[in-house]
């Protein structure tokens, strides 16, 4: 007979409840959880296990394991999967780690990390291509960094599974409190891109682009031009002035002036 020890808060009409069950193999009690509706009726059996290494009271306080958009992350025998409100399995239980979106409540996709690959999976069960690694771009929650192969080039993926930048860069770093990112190409040159529309602000022709608290330092390969930009995020005018002032240098050195239409 099921025995409830504790109940979590309601989310989308369901609340997690933790109870004990007798293990039919060794007749020992084990902690499991299921879901009740607002009439306190058990609508999902106590067939999911509280993750190992976490107290069940602490587990009940973690909102990422509540229902969101009709789907819920659950554990069975310490494997992760996703179910819907009628307890149908949407994403099968397997030996992977599911990383919830950030912020959790607005995401409809998960990063599923297997031993040898990562896959982006929607709550509806649609899978992206597999990658060596997928992880959030720090400072910009709308995009993910993808790594095609071990120690290989990086690209950018949106939460719908679309590659907005093919794996072709050595480094991608979001500039804090701006819509821009610094990137390093495969030839070890640096440029600046726009995260909102994924356009090139300044091409990868710089020897270094260093970010410091509140600004940037851009240096060309021969160090003839070095620009310090102090006012972020309002630095686009300074980039425009820098490019216009040094048009002759750019033409002589690179044969063209960097495009700044999207700054």
pLDDT of the residue at 27: 57
pLDDT for the residue 62: 84
Domain boundaries along the sequence of the chain: 1-88, 96-174, 177-263
pLDDT at residue number 234: 47
Average pLDDT for runs of 10 along the chain of length 263: 80 92 65 93 92 86 84 86 90 76 58 84 78 90 90 92 94 86 91 87 78 67 53 52 70 64 35
Nearest 5°: phi and psi at 42? -75, 110
Give the residue among 166, 74, 91, 99 at the shortest CA–CA distance from 126.
Answer: 91
CA distance 242 to 250: 11
Give every strand in the sheet of 14-22, ordered side by side: 3-11, 14-22, 29-36, 42-49
3-state secondary structure of 92: strand
pLDDT, residue 263, reads: 29
Report pLDDT for 42: 92
CA–CA separation, 80 vs 25, rounded Å? 23
Alpha-carbon span 84 to 5, nearest angstrom: 24
What separation in angstroms does the CA of 172 have from each of 18, 183, 187, 194?
Answer: 43, 5, 14, 12
The pTM is what? 0.65
């Amino acid at each position: 007979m099921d025995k409830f020890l504790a109940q979590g808060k309601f989310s989308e009409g369901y609340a997690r409840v933790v109870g004990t069950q007798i293990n039919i193999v060794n007749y020992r009690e084990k902690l499991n959880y299921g879901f009740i509706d607002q009439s306190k009726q058990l609508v999902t059996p106590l067939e999911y296990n509280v993750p190992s290494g976490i107290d069940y009271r602490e587990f009940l306080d973690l909102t990422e394991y509540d229902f969101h958009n009709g789907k819920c992350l659950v554990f069975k025998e310490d494997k992760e999967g996703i179910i819907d409100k009628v307890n149908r399995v949407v994403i099968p239980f397997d030996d992977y780690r599911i990383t919830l979106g950030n912020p959790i409540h607005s995401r409809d996709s998960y990063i599923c990390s297997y031993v040898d690959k990562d896959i982006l999976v929607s709550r509806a069960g649609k899978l992206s291509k597999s990658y060596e690694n997928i992880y959030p771009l720090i400072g910009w929650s709308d995009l993910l960094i993808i790594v095609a192969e071990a120690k290989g080039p990086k690209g950018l993926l949106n939460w719908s599974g679309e590659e907005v930048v093919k794996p072709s860069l050595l480094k991608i770093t979001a500039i804090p409190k701006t819509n821009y990112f610094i990137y390093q190409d495969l030839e070890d040159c640096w440029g600046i891109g726009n995260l909102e529309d994924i356009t090139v602000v300044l091409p990868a022709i710089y020897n270094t682009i260093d970010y410091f608290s509140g600004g940037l330092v851009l240096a060309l390969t021969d160090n003839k031009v070095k620009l310090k930009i102090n006012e972020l995020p309002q630095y686009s005018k300074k980039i425009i002035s820098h490019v216009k002032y040094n048009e002759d240098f750019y033409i002589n050195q690179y044969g063209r002036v960097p495009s700044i239409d999207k700054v």
